[in-house]
């Protein structure tokens, strides 16, 4: 099973690569469908890194 560090937000990737966070939908590669990903803040305000295991697979701009 894939586990992430305590305190990270974890979301499951749905059909088409869609993931929900704070009431918004974001698209990730379809290859991650069905898997959990973790969201980690960056040093930039309003930006998150999307992690699969320990790999950064995307960045989200919440602004």
Q: Which domain holds residue 41?
A: 9-61
Is the backbone of residue 25 left (phi > 0), alpha (psi -120 to 50) or beta? beta
Q: What pLDDT sits at residue 1? A: 87
Domain assignment present for residue 55? The answer is yes
Q: What pLDDT sits at residue 17? A: 97
Residue 6: pLDDT above 90? yes
**Residue 34 and residue 25: Cα distance in Å, rounded?**
16
Nearest to 20 by CA among 46, 39, 45, 1: 39
Domain assignment present for residue 4? The answer is no
Q: What pLDDT sits at residue 22? A: 94
Question: pLDDT tens digits, residue range 25-56?
Answer: 999 999 999 999 999 999 999 999 999 999 99
What total number of domains does the chain contain? 1
């Amino acid at each position: 099973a894939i586990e992430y560090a305590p305190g990270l937000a974890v979301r499951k990737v749905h059909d088409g690569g869609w993931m929900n966070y704070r009431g918004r939908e974001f698209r990730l590669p379809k290859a991650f469908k069905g898997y959990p990903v973790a969201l980690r803040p960056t040093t930039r305000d309003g930006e998150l890194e999307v992690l699969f295991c320990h790999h950064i697979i995307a960045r989200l701009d919440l602004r």
